Amino acid sequence: MASNTSKSNYEPPKWFWDSRKKGPSSAGTFLFVALRAIDLPFQYWLLSSGAGSRLLKTIGLSSPTASAPLPTTGVLGQISSATGLSPYHALIIVLATGSAAKQIYWKLEICDTVMPPGFSVGVAAYNTMLNSLNTLFSLSSLSQDPSALLSQPLSLSSVPPTLAVGIPLYAVGLFWEWYSEIQRKAFKIDPSNKGKPYSDGLFGLARNINYGGYTLWRTGYSLISAGWAWGAVQGAFLAGDFTQRGIPSLDAYCEKRYGAQWDEVRRKVPYRLIPYIY
């Protein structure tokens, strides 16, 4: 039997190889899409019912006295009015919605690998867990508490730095992950590209730029929800997981599938996760 160990001597676990198999998975697709969609009313319930605040009290975290200074007009204002949430927590729901919409689109339009029901539930549960931590922390004293700014007219100078940094990180990261996968899908469905690795478009900037995009938007989401420390923890965790597990696993897969072509991709695209950084 051929070895699954890469040139770096990293051997991915069996479940990783199983996850690379091509084919339909109706039950897994249904479960993944349903669970990611259910995440949205769950996050809203945590914010609106008082359940999130009660849970925080049981673990000794207090709630801030005010929410972040965001406009009460425009889209956020409309969402705030429709949901009964503060503009800040309306933003938290928007972030959760973006994460679910992107992942549902990926499963329905991009993914061509088998996702068994158990694996689908695990991936969906992992993302709901991360969203739920952000939702809970947004209700806690860990979140921005700019009560002194609430009486001031909204301006760029009055927006908390965590939002000024977090929103662009979220938007850029979500775009990177979404659009890079669209570009790669368009390449793969062309019969003339069968058996070739893709290293153009956004994937010409970093070999795993979709992972980099996920890291960025998750970091931005956490930064908005609970400030610098939680954003840093989330970013470090995801970057560590991708660099120590995700990227080595995919390298081993691409070495086995593409051979010398993958060596050429490595030379052409030296960055692995985020362009000009790693």
Claim to verify: residue 118 and residue 182 sit in the same structural domain? no
Both tokens assigned to 26: 């109706």
Burial (CB < 10 A; 0-12, 13-18, 19+), residue 64, is middle
DSSP 113: B
Q: Report which residue type is found at 88.
A: Y
Claim to verify: residue 220 and residue 267 sit in the same structural domain? yes
Note down the domain range covering 223. Answer: 160-278
Q: How confident is the model at residue 72 (pLDDT cuts 50, 70, 90)?
A: low
Q: Report which residue type is found at 89.
A: H
Number of helices followed by number of strands (H, E) in the chain: 10, 0
pLDDT in tens, 142-158: 665 433 333 344 455 56
Q: How high is the pLDDT of residue 87?
A: 86
Tell whether 2 is covered by a domain: no
Q: Which of 132, 155, 178 is the last residue of a domain?
A: 155
**Residues in contact with 270: Cβ distance below 8 Å, sequence separation at least 6, in sequence order:** none
Tell whether 142 is covered by a domain: yes
Q: Which of 139, 155, 171 is the last residue of a domain?
A: 155
Tell whether 22 is covered by a domain: yes
Claim to verify: residue 149 and residue 70 sit in the same structural domain? yes
Claim to verify: residue 146 and residue 18 sit in the same structural domain? yes
Structural domain count of the chain? 2
Q: What angle do CA 132, 98, 58 make, to 5 degrees?
A: 10
CA-based nearest residue to 63, from 181, 147, 154: 147
Average confidence (pLDDT) over 218-229:
96
Q: How confident is the model at residue 96 (pLDDT cuts 50, 70, 90)?
A: very high
Kindly tell me if the per-residue pLDDT of 1 is higher than 90: no
Q: How high is the pLDDT of residue 174?
A: 99
Tell whether 257 is covered by a domain: yes
Tell whether 189 is covered by a domain: yes
Q: Which of 138, 155, 172 is the last residue of a domain?
A: 155
Claim to verify: residue 260 and residue 242 sit in the same structural domain? yes
Kindly tell me if the per-residue pLDDT of 80 is higher than 70: yes
Claim to verify: residue 50 and residue 150 sit in the same structural domain? yes
Claim to verify: residue 184 and residue 273 sit in the same structural domain? yes
Tell whether 167 is covered by a domain: yes
Both tokens assigned to 136: 């809970």
| 8 Å CB contact between 180 and 201 | yes
Place of tokens 């849970």: 55
| 8 Å CB contact between 120 and 24 | no
Please count the other Cβ atoms lying within 10 Å of the Cβ belonging to residue 151.
7
60 phi and psi, to 5 degrees?
85, 15
Percent of the chain whose pLDDT exceeds 90:
70
DSSP class per residue in 20-48: T-BS--HHHHHHHHHHHHHHHHHHHHHHH
Claim to verify: residue 103 and residue 211 sit in the same structural domain? no
Q: How high is the pLDDT of residue 156?
A: 54
Orientation of helix 209-241 relative to helix 117-138, angle to 10°: 70
Tell whether 7 is covered by a domain: no
Q: How high is the pLDDT of residue 38?
A: 98
pLDDT in tens, 5-43: 667 678 998 888 888 899 989 999 999 999 999 999 999
